[in-house]
A and B are shown apart, each in its own frame.
Chain A
Amino acid sequence: MDFDLSDEQKLVADNVARLMKDKYGFEQRKTYAASASGFSEPLWRQYAELGLLGAPFAEEDGGYGGGAVEIMLTQEAFGRALALEPYFASVVLAGGALRHGATPEQRAALIPEIASGELRLALAHMEPQSGWNAFDVRTTAKKGAQDYVIDGEKGLVLNGDSAQKLIVLARVSGKQRDVDGLGLFLVDGDAPGVTRRGYATQDGRRAAEVTLAGALATPLGEPGRAGPAMARVIEDAIAALSAEAVGAMAEAVEMTTDYLKTRKQFGVAIGSFQALQHRAADMVVALEQARSMMYLAAMSSSDPDTAARARAMAAAKAQIGRSAKFIGQQATQLHGGIAMTHEYKLGHLFKRLTMIDMAYGDADHHLAKLGEGESLFD
């Protein structure tokens, strides 16, 4: 076993950590959040210059030849800082759809533009009725004269309000919840027939409900066979969110520790109360368990055994969800009233952690799935 990073990976981690330290103080973050796009455009360009946006893509596709570990390191640092830029939406989700679902020519055409920061994509896969079932798709794609024509409603499209292009999951055949018969389609964000209702999210980001009415689209890969690719995209998303959650949890534990040392009541630091020491110690246990499952998720994302990979991801997401809830709630409790204020970072960490639990299946959802299947052990 080797938990050490390669030199290149260390460089990625150091670079992002330094950038976050310089540019992502909580006060700086407030100015990014208040800007028109809701994130920092200059930083987005800097991510491109540092190679973060191209890191997880293969070199032959125009990327820099990294993978899950690079995403993990980046997301962990973003999680600590609560970075607002659409890295997850554009690079992990939409980029994942390209990696797993597009043809080599399509990848070669689009990935360099993602890597350079010029093109921001959003993945429109969920629907108002779909819950956490990625294959529950009513939106239809029909072959037209040249392009495909898409009709339907997509929901909770992360950064879908500002992305130049959308990758839309739509059904070319089969029934509403069939894995077969799905296709990924590239649609221009401003194409005729596309209506986007953008809104802020609980964790201070942006998303959109997207209505497609006869929107023209180009298929990515082979229409009808996108189901397995979609499953892998969601696994990658779970691995990436696990890392982001670990970053946010680590930050919450650190803030709480600092607070316990400095906040005085009854003439002493509240960290001198053993009841609080033990609670903080339990938070460390929860954090370390989550960190381990973050590694498992990153390592498993290239496991060729589909069933084993799915189990590992479900296990990771279940652990992340439970740790995130415990740490979010306890960090709030140990801070007292100050944690309830919008001005203070901790509440934002709590909200982001809550929303990570709610994305791609909460802890109960994955535990139920695991309970129905085989053991995690041989």
Chain B
Amino acid sequence: MDLGFSAEEIAFRAQVRDFVANNLPPAIREKLVGGHHPSKDDIVTWTRILANKGWGAPHWPVEWGGTGWDAIKLSIFTDEIQRGHAPESLAFGTSMVGPVIATFGTQAQKERFLPRILDLRDWWCQGFSEPGAGSDLAGLRTKAERDGDSWVINGQKTWTTLAQYADWIFVLARTDGNVKKQEGISFFLCDMKTPGVTVRPIQTIDGGHEVNEVFFDNVRIPAENLVGEVNKGWDYAKFLLSNERNGIARVGVSKARLAKVRRLASLAVYGDKPKMDDPVFRMKLAAAEVDLKALEMTQMRVIAASRTAPKGKPNPMSSVLKIKGSELQQTTTELLMDVVGPYALPYQPEQGDRWNEPSVGPDWASTIAPTYFNTRKVSIYGGSNEIQRNIIAKAILGL
């Protein structure tokens, strides 16, 4: 047993850290440190910097632009990106539809789509959830019908993250209504400019616009935009979701936020001493750090075991990572609420380039309550924490 990283891994971490420090545009970094959302341009800019370095999608097959790094290096890479306050790559492309196309797509689909995902020429969004199909995703009702050389899609998706920027959407739709619900679903790629696609914004409780409803009204797409086999979409979706859940612990995000908590807790002076001198607060902060240290180790154990595990089999330990990882993301936002205290109250919406205007109260205060509210989502999406507990009970405990 050796709990340390190898010399090579340590050197690799330093290399990534230096790269982020030297290449992330300071304005983007400053914005993300402040808890603001990166703009579309920020994400595109940073993705292209990474793509130029050959790091646009490190986990992809080498022939499509991946790096060939092992699971440990991949996780070090993600950790450093998150800790360095860099925008994360757009998961819908690099972690979701990209691997699906690379694994199940035709040669033509790979050549057409993968390079454009790598440098974010195509912005993808995920059309899975529907008003009636959330946790019960297989209950989806959006329909696709074959008509000559086309598929015609009708229905509605919802919670579609950043669809307002999207060039393409990948869609699960029902292609056979007469079989078991998982067996009649297919996986389609749809250009957002196709006539009949309508995007309606949903405002979230923090005042932001990150999710949308997407309506399909007789949307006709070419037959070649089906991925893999008809009625096999559920298998591809499961493959995709198991990839989605790999990075779900988001250890680096919580590390970055805890560092911010420490920094602000020394700055925030109410009365005669900084928040950092409050013993109750310090114990809470320490407890969060203990949890995060344990989670980081758990994640490393899962990754280490994955090197010898049979490929393509979902690992129920990822549910442990999802539950604890999402709880920690939420705990760290609560610690920031503890730090800001009464000045959580003013609502100062971000409006495009106005994110840097003088704030009411301390200049770091304005994003804290919105981040706390917004982060409630992380225990709801990506398979809710209740669904993850069901998985643990069944798949780990056999209950």
Chain A residues within 8 Å of B, Cβ to Cβ: 126, 128-133, 136, 155-156, 177, 197, 199-204, 207, 209, 264-267, 273, 275-276, 329, 332-333, 336-337, 339-343, 347-348, 350-351, 354-355, 358-359, 362, 364, 367-368
B342 contact from A132, A204, A354, Cβ within 8 A: A132
B341 CB contacts on chain A under 8 angstroms: 131-132, 358, 362
Docked Cα-Cα span, A266 to B373, in Å, equals: 28
Asked if A131 and B270 sit within 8 Å, CB to CB, the answer is: yes
Q: Is B135 close to A, CB under 8 A?
A: yes
Given A129-B270, A156-B345 in contact, is the A340-B377 Cβ separation under 8 Å? yes
Q: Which residue of A lies closest to B129 (CB)?
A: A337
Asked if A333 and B347 sit within 8 Å, CB to CB, the answer is: no
A354 contact from B281, B369, B390, Cβ within 8 A: B369
Docked Cα-Cα span, A348 to B342, in Å, equals: 18
Q: Which residue of B lies closest to A266 (CB)?
A: B136
- Identify the stretch in B72-80, B189-197, B378-386 within 8 Å (CB) of chain A at 4 or more residues: B378-386
B310 → A minimal CB distance (Å): 29
Main secondary structure of the interface of B (DSSP, over half): mixed
4 further A-B contacts with Cβ under 8 Å, apart from A266-B135, A276-B386, A358-B342, are A131-B271, A199-B360, A337-B129, A359-B342
A260 → B minimal CB distance (Å): 12
Asked if A350 and B159 sit within 8 Å, CB to CB, the answer is: no
The proximity string for B residues 312-346 relative to A, scoring 1 for CB distances below 8 Å and 0 otherwise, is 00000000000000000000000001100111111
Q: Is B372 close to A, CB under 8 A?
A: yes
A340 → B minimal CB distance (Å): 5
Main secondary structure of the interface of A (DSSP, over half): mixed
The proximity string for B residues 344-366 relative to A, scoring 1 for CB distances below 8 Å and 0 otherwise, is 11111000000000001100000
Given A199-B348, A347-B373 in contact, is the A156-B271 Cβ separation under 8 Å? no
B185 → A minimal CB distance (Å): 16
Count, A-B residue pairs, CB within 8 A: 141
- Identify the stretch in B2-10, B90-98, B202-210, B295-303 within 8 Å (CB) of chain A at 4 or more residues: B202-210
Asked if B376 and A332 sit within 8 Å, CB to CB, the answer is: yes
Q: Which residue of B lies closest to A333 (CB)?
A: B379
Asked if B134 and A358 sit within 8 Å, CB to CB, the answer is: no
Docked Cα-Cα span, A209 to B361, in Å, equals: 9
Residue from A129, A130, A341, A367 having most chain B Cβ neighbours under 10 A: A341
B135 contact from A203, A209, A336, A350, Cβ within 8 A: A336
A-B pairs with beta carbons under 8 Å apart, 28 shown: A128-B343, A131-B270, A155-B342, A199-B360, A201-B345, A204-B347, A207-B346, A265-B135, A266-B136, A275-B386, A276-B386, A329-B376, A332-B380, A333-B386, A336-B134, A336-B135, A339-B205, A340-B376, A342-B207, A343-B203, A350-B205, A350-B376, A354-B344, A354-B373, A355-B344, A358-B342, A358-B344, A358-B345
Docked Cα-Cα span, A329 to B345, in Å, equals: 18
B344 CB contacts on chain A under 8 angstroms: 202, 354-355, 358
B347 CB contacts on chain A under 8 angstroms: 199-202, 204
A348 CB contacts on chain B under 8 angstroms: 205
Sort chain B's interface into a size bin.
35 or more
Asked if A347 and B342 sit within 8 Å, CB to CB, the answer is: no
Residue from A155, A197, A267, A336 having most chain B Cβ neighbours under 10 A: A336
Asked if A132 and B205 sit within 8 Å, CB to CB, the answer is: no
A350 CB contacts on chain B under 8 angstroms: 205, 373, 376
A318 → B minimal CB distance (Å): 12
Q: Is B139 close to A, CB under 8 A?
A: yes
Q: Which residue of A lies closest to B269 (CB)?
A: A129
Docked Cα-Cα span, A264 to B131, in Å, equals: 11
B252 → A minimal CB distance (Å): 24
Given A130-B270, A337-B159 in contact, is the A342-B345 Cβ separation under 8 Å? no
B389 CB contacts on chain A under 8 angstroms: 275
A132 CB contacts on chain B under 8 angstroms: 270, 341-342
Asked if A341 and B205 sit within 8 Å, CB to CB, the answer is: yes
B272 → A minimal CB distance (Å): 7
3 tightest Cβ-Cβ pairs between the two chains A and B? A131-B270, A347-B205, A342-B203
B278 CB contacts on chain A under 8 angstroms: 368
Docked Cα-Cα span, A264 to B135, in Å, equals: 10
A177 CB contacts on chain B under 8 angstroms: 271-272
Docked Cα-Cα span, A358 to B129, in Å, equals: 35
A347 CB contacts on chain B under 8 angstroms: 204-205, 373
Q: Is B27 close to A, CB under 8 A?
A: no
B270 CB contacts on chain A under 8 angstroms: 129-133, 136
B385 CB contacts on chain A under 8 angstroms: 333
Asked if A337 and B346 sit within 8 Å, CB to CB, the answer is: no
B269 → A minimal CB distance (Å): 7
A269 → B minimal CB distance (Å): 12
B374 CB contacts on chain A under 8 angstroms: 340
Asked if B380 and A340 sit within 8 Å, CB to CB, the answer is: yes
B272 CB contacts on chain A under 8 angstroms: 177
Q: Which residue of B lies closest to A197 (CB)?
A: B360
Docked Cα-Cα span, A126 to B280, in Å, equals: 24
Docked Cα-Cα span, A201 to B377, in Å, equals: 21
Docked Cα-Cα span, A336 to B361, in Å, equals: 33
Docked Cα-Cα span, A208 to B132, in Å, equals: 43
B346 contact from A126, A133, A202, A264, Cβ within 8 A: A202
B348 CB contacts on chain A under 8 angstroms: 199
Asked if A265 and B139 sit within 8 Å, CB to CB, the answer is: yes
A264 → B minimal CB distance (Å): 8
Asked if B386 and A355 sit within 8 Å, CB to CB, the answer is: no
Docked Cα-Cα span, A265 to B390, in Å, equals: 14
Asked if B372 and A354 sit within 8 Å, CB to CB, the answer is: yes
Docked Cα-Cα span, A133 to B270, in Å, equals: 8
Chain B 158-194 interface residues, beta-carbon cutoff 8 Å to A: 158-159
Asked if B205 and A342 sit within 8 Å, CB to CB, the answer is: yes
Docked Cα-Cα span, A333 to B385, in Å, equals: 9
B345 contact from A207, A332, A362, Cβ within 8 A: A207
A297 → B minimal CB distance (Å): 20
A197 CB contacts on chain B under 8 angstroms: 360
